[in-house]
């Protein structure tokens, strides 16, 4: 079985009946060997990205801040209890005022930012993509903002998961899972309430519409979200919890062409960051993106991928 172009329902200005060849070829693969190589290269780059200094595998902690003082260190009496033996019992405090975080480093504790010693510093969070990075030994700290909450994320550049990472098993590359879809715009883009793996923490991305495709004679839709130059899709399917990550997978799609068409390449469906550790804030597929069909393409999941806390 395979995903195909929408045949019923009349796409845009093309009318009913067979599509023009140009439309059918939007997702067509002309050189199968080259396509397989491109997907393999994409996957290899993704794995290297996971292992990079700013990747997901080295996350070692996530601590939500309360208004005012939040002490940090390895002592059990600290508000943010960091890994024992890696930092002093009391290393300082993060002070949250509104949406601004200032770090105050305890005397004698070696914390740097961009190579300079820090005793007090107003932190830039990750909302703009360039947070202030604090380092202590092989540990790094930075502020993240999620909706109305601010936290401190911890990295360990020598995290055991980096060496223990087994790689990601994928389904065999299958060109039939590279499919053409039609974008159906909403009258106006809408904010969508999306749950996340963090209880009580939501996400409200902007959705311009849905993409439609047909499978085995039945039409399916996926709501798409704005994400820079591409569309971002959260989806669940019948493989979840069996061969793929239980909470669903992610997919990116290019913007539509002049005919309102885009390509959904499920061979590039990938695991969310929360598949690898407990310190990501992954959004979950909304109910409207739960597909009843199985999509045996893209990344698979096993418990060996999920690293324990250090």
CA-based nearest residue to 296, from 169, 167, 180: 169
Q: Which residues contact 19 (CB under 8 A, 6 or more apart)?
A: 5, 7, 11
Does residue 208 have a pLDDT over 60? yes
Q: Which domains does the chain have, with CATH numbers?
A: 3-53+167-305 (no CATH), 59-158 (2.60.200.20)
Q: For tokens 């963090």, what's the residue?
A: 198
Residues forming a β-bridge with 69:
95
The two structure tokens encoding residue 70: 């939040």
The two structure tokens encoding residue 113: 């930012």
Alpha-carbon gap, residue 27 to 261, rounded angstroms = 10
Determine the pLDDT at residue 26: 61
CA-based nearest residue to 304, from 200, 189, 168: 168
| Average pLDDT of the chain to the nearest whole number | 90
Predicted TM-score (pTM) of this structure: 0.88
Determine the pLDDT at residue 61: 96
Alpha-carbon gap, residue 96 to 145, rounded angstroms = 12
Q: What confidence tens digit (pLDDT) does each residue in 252-300 have?
A: 999 999 899 999 999 999 999 999 999 999 999 999 999 999 999 999 9
Does residue 6 have a pLDDT over 90? no
Q: Which of 22-26, 88-92, 125-129, 134-138 has the lowest mean pLDDT?
A: 22-26
Q: What confidence tens digit (pLDDT) does each residue in 51-68 have?
A: 999 999 999 999 999 999
Q: Which residues contact 194 (CB under 8 A, 6 or more apart)?
A: 202, 203, 204, 205, 234, 283, 284, 286
Q: Are 297 and 266 in contact (CB under 8 A)?
A: yes
Q: Are 63 and 151 in contact (CB under 8 A)?
A: yes
pLDDT band at 310 (very low <50, low <70, confident <90, very high): low
Strands 120-123 and 100-105: antiparallel
Q: What confidence tens digit (pLDDT) does each residue in 138-148 have?
A: 999 999 999 99
């Amino acid at each position: 079985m395979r995903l195909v172009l929408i045949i019923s329902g009349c796409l845009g200005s093309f009318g009913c009946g067979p599509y023009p060849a140009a439309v059918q070829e939007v997702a067509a693969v002309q050189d199968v060997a080259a396509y397989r190589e491109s997907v393999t290269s994409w996957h290899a780059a993704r794995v290297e990205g996971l292992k990079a200094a700013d990747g997901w595998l080295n996350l070692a902690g996530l601590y939500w801040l309360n208004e005012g003082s939040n002490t940090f260190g390895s002592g059990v009496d600290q508000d943010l209890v960091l890994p024992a033996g890696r930092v002093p019992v009391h290393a300082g405090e993060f002070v949250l005022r509104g949406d601004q975080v200032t770090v105050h480093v305890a005397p004698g504790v070696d914390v740097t930012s961009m190579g300079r010693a820090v005793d007090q510093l107003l932190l830039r969070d990750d909302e703009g993509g360039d947070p202030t990075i604090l380092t202590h030994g092989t540990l790094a700290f930075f502020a993240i903002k999620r909706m109305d909450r601010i936290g401190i994320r911890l990295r360990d550049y020598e995290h055991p998961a980096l060496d223990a990472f087994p790689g990601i098993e994928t389904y065999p590359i299958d060109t039939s899972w590279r499919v053409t879809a039609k974008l159906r715009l909403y009258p106006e883009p809408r904010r969508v309430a999306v749950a996340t793996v963090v209880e009580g923490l939501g996400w409200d991305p902007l959705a311009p519409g849905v993409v439609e495709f047909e499978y085995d004679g039945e039409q399916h839709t996926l709501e798409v979200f704005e994400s820079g130059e591409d569309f971002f899709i959260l989806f669940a399917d019948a493989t979840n919890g069996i061969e793929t990550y239980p909470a669903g997978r992610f997919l990116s799609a290019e913007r539509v062409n002049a005919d309102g068409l885009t390509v959904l390449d499920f061979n590039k469906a990938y695991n969310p960051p929360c598949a690898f550790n407990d310190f990501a804030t992954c959004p979950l597929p909304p109910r409207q993106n739960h597909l009843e069909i199985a999509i045996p393409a893209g990344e698979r999941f096993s418990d060996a991928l999920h690293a324990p806390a250090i």
